Chain A
Amino acid sequence: MNHTKQNFWTKYVFATDHKVIGKQYIITGLIMALVGGYLSYVFRMQLAYPGQSIPLYGDMGPQQYNAFITLHGMIMFFWFAMPILLAGFGNLFIPLMIGTDDMAFPTVNMISFWIFFVSTIVLMVSFFLPGGAAAGGWTMYPPLSITAHQPTFWGSFFTGQTFLLLAVALEFVSMLMGGINFLTTTINKRAPGMTAFRLPIYVWFANLAGIIFMFSVGPLIAGAFMMLLDINMGTGFYDPYRGGDPILFQHLFWFFGHPEVYVLLLPSLGVTAEIISTFSRKPIFAYKTIIYMALIASVLSVIVWAHHQFISGIDPRMATFFSVGTILISIPFAAIILSYLATLWGGSIRLKMPMIWTIAGIGSFLIGGLTGLFLGSDTFDIYAHDTYFVIAHFHYVLIPVVIFGTFAAIYYWYPKYFGRMLNEKIGKIHFWLTFLSFHAFAFPLFFSGLQGEHRRIADYSSFDSLMTLPIQHIRIISTIATIILISSQLLLIINVFWSYRKGKVAGRNPWEANTLEWQTDSPPQHGNFEVYPEVYRGAYEYSLPDRTEDFYPQNEK
């Protein structure tokens, strides 16, 4: 370990310490979530009150509407969810949980954060380009994403779509480098005694997520190259007149896009496992089974992608294959959720903020998973495709997973990294406002979707059947709930800053947890541990009958 003298730049900006890098990712991600949230506020206002000027924005045309939904999706996936759940938490937790000083390649780690940071800048710049931001949807389907531009190099280079592709490319490079670091660290740097089946579930799941990402993103990178050439050089990879095929891009996109969902789901389920076990004071139920199930789900996740293309003219026999695969993949996830519920069952539950977020997350996620089963069957999907039913479905998956999971983790680990507890009272108000407004925003959309409200349309006033009063009310309720959802996040910001100064001092192990990160100072010093731990048992040995204390740290003899 290196105790080199540090100045402001090496300590906070170009830091190689995994704890600082983790915080950098999370802060950037949270700021981007505000940007993504602001975009959703603007386009939801447009939907509820078409044609009127929007407070804090102004007038919105269809072009801006499409740009805003495009970048809302992009930002939420790649600049909020991935940087926080995987890069941020992975950096904060992995070295501490496996009992070592830092990542395997600290300098690579620093570089990957800064590449990620540059990608955010490129993305932000794309809003202000002369032609406007990319507006072809977050799926970037050609020909829409290509033909909007003239194929002259400089003329089309400074367009939203090209900048979006560049930003995504940089972000992928950064996440790939991060994934290499995670895997190498976990394989190589575990403390003595930390066998594979003594690892905390978060470590397992974050690594699986990293592997899924690395093995699914390659074809999309190749596909994005083809798209860049199509836009800027006038090639015809996706142009049917040239023998190209726009559907090719759909395959390349969803071969990555579907597994990406599990890249987010797994780290969040890992956080859930840590919290459920600690706050029910029980060993996690069927630890090994959970890990095998996650392995099975990871494999299955790369063979179901075409369930996003049931209406792209797919051969019905293939459609059946992808339907069955999709429905199969719910089995391992159901098993994981069931074993979490079994962990809760009969536990002496401590209903603190992290636990509240976790339970709310699992409960809400069930609605998303169930509606996913509907969509997985091609017969239903042909009817529901690209309606607000799908929008409601994936928000019921993503918000419990990404947002609730992130908040649970913030409440649970804040004491470790800042030395003080977050305030539970502010936390409860924050929770109820967020929870209720989320359901009020997403649930009505199932109904407007079933009535035929199509996504990616800025103004429905020319469709009489979609302007009836009930549907109008759904639009307005959903929009108001969005506003509450976004503004209640102010409470989290207040809580974080208030507790930083005034919160209760945490001590090493405020939640009486077993995993190694709790067995060192809060916050841990540079190098993490004063005595490097040795591991004697699994991560979840709570309430053992022959012990007076109901927890048993992994490194206690």
Chain B
Amino acid sequence: MSTTTISIPSIKDVPQGRLGVWVLIAGELIIFGGLIACYILYRLRYPEWGEQAAHTSTPLGALNTIVLLTSSFTVVMSHTASIKKQLNKIVLWMSATIGLGLMFLVVKSIEYTNEISHGFTLTSPSLVAKGESVGANFWSFYYLATGLHALHVIVGMLILFIVMMGARKGKNLHRVELGGMYWHMVDIIWIFLFPLLYLAK
């Protein structure tokens, strides 16, 4: 493989990757923005949804909020380590972040199991049978919003893992920051979901 490199002059020097990730994040936020806007409108229309929201577990939700906030801290630490080129520390803080992501998912699945065992599922047939079909719709929203968010947590963990494997060997250290930005976005979306789904009862 023969590679010649000519430097291409250009007007700006914003790191390309950072710019790209910012645009990506803007796009993602708008997807969740649409979903959250729909949820709020329905929530205002149906006071019944408050009763359903009372069945979500505030303590577990709060625990998960703390878990995610902590993971935002650890991901920042890995960025600091990447600036100082301390490869061991990057791996340490990155693994901590991924571990906290895993913990989030575990707590989330405990919640899901609890809720499903009480008959609150994506379609909640038992609520529909009791004539509370409007309330059943709350659970559809709940599973859609948290499920989509959990999917983003999983994607974020994968991204961080790939970045970490590179950073371990000192390759592509700038990606630590980019992965961190994505992770913060996942975190921020949760900050919106938590009050809406768990606190507004």
Q: Which residues from chain A sit less than 8 Å from chain B, CB to CB? A: 1-5, 100-101, 104-105, 108, 176, 179-181, 183-184, 187-195, 214-215, 217-223, 225-226, 229, 233-237, 241-244, 248, 252, 255, 527, 532, 534
Contacts and interface: CB of A to CB of B under 8 A. Distances in A.
Given A218-B31, A221-B34, A252-B38, A184 B19 contact: yes
B46 interface: yes
B8 A1 contact: yes
Which of A4, A183, A218, A223 has the largest number of chain B CB atoms within 10 A?
A: A218
B175 to A, nearest CB: 13
Given A184-B16, A215-B30, A221-B31, A233 B8 contact: no
B117 interface: no
A222 B38 contact: yes
Given A105-B20, A222-B35, A5 B2 contact: yes
Interface of B: 1-6, 8-14, 16, 19-20, 23-24, 26-35, 37-38, 41-42, 45-46, 48, 122-123, 128, 133-137, 140-141, 144, 148
Contact of B122 (A223, A225, A233): A233
Nearest to A233: B122
B5 to A, nearest CB: 7
Given A1-B5, A214-B26, A243 B12 contact: no
B1 A104 contact: no
Given A225-B148, A235-B122, A236-B133, A214 B30 contact: yes
A4 B23 CA distance: 30
6 contacts: A1-B6, A180-B20, A188-B10, A218-B31, A242-B140, A248-B38
CB-CB nearest 8 A-B residue pairs: A219-B34, A218-B30, A243-B134, A222-B35, A218-B31, A235-B140, A222-B34, A190-B11
A242 B125 CA distance: 11
Contacts of A215: 26, 30
A255 B34 CA distance: 10
Given A5-B2, A242-B128, A243-B45, 20 more contacts: A1-B8, A3-B2, A3-B3, A3-B4, A187-B12, A188-B12, A191-B9, A217-B30, A218-B30, A218-B33, A218-B34, A219-B37, A219-B38, A222-B35, A233-B122, A235-B123, A236-B123, A236-B136, A237-B140, A242-B140
B137 A242 contact: yes
A243 B38 CA distance: 13
Contacts of B41: 248
Contacts of B29: 218
Nearest to B127: A242
A484 B33 CA distance: 46
Contact of A4 (B3, B12, B42): B3
Contacts of A1: 4-6, 8
Contacts of A101: 8
Contacts of A214: 23, 26-27, 30
A188 B19 contact: yes
Contacts of A244: 137
A315 to B, nearest CB: 14
Contacts of A237: 137, 140-141
Nearest to B23: A180
A235 B46 CA distance: 17
B33 to A, nearest CB: 6
Contacts of A248: 38, 41
A146 to B, nearest CB: 13
Nearest to B26: A214
A223 B123 CA distance: 17
A214 B33 CA distance: 13
Contact of B27 (A5, A189, A218, A534): A218
A233 B42 contact: no
A237 B39 CA distance: 10
Nearest to A213: B27
A290 B31 CA distance: 30
Nearest to A243: B134
Contacts of A2: 3
B11 A192 contact: yes
A81 B29 CA distance: 26
Contacts of B46: 243
Contacts of B33: 218-219
A242 B134 contact: yes
A90 to B, nearest CB: 15
A184 B137 contact: no
A105 B16 contact: yes
A78 to B, nearest CB: 17
A180 B144 contact: no
B159 to A, nearest CB: 14
A301 to B, nearest CB: 15
A532 B38 contact: no
B140 A4 contact: no
A187 B137 CA distance: 44
Nearest to B30: A218
A295 to B, nearest CB: 17
Contacts of B37: 219
Contacts of A179: 23, 27
Contacts of B135: 243
Contacts of A252: 34, 38
Contacts of B24: 180
A194 B157 CA distance: 39
B116 to A, nearest CB: 14
A534 to B, nearest CB: 7
Which of B2, B3, B31, B42 has the largest number of chain A CB atoms within 10 A?
A: B31
Contacts of A220: 34
A332 B56 CA distance: 49
A88 to B, nearest CB: 20
A237 B141 CA distance: 8
A242 B45 CA distance: 13
A174 to B, nearest CB: 13
B34 A532 contact: no
A187 B19 CA distance: 9
Contacts of B133: 236, 241-243
B9 A532 contact: yes
Contacts of B42: 243
Contacts of A190: 10-12
Contacts of A181: 20
Contacts of B10: 100, 188-192
A440 B27 CA distance: 42
B186 to A, nearest CB: 16
Nearest to A194: B11
A180 B26 CA distance: 10
B16 A532 contact: no
Nearest to A235: B140
A256 B133 CA distance: 30
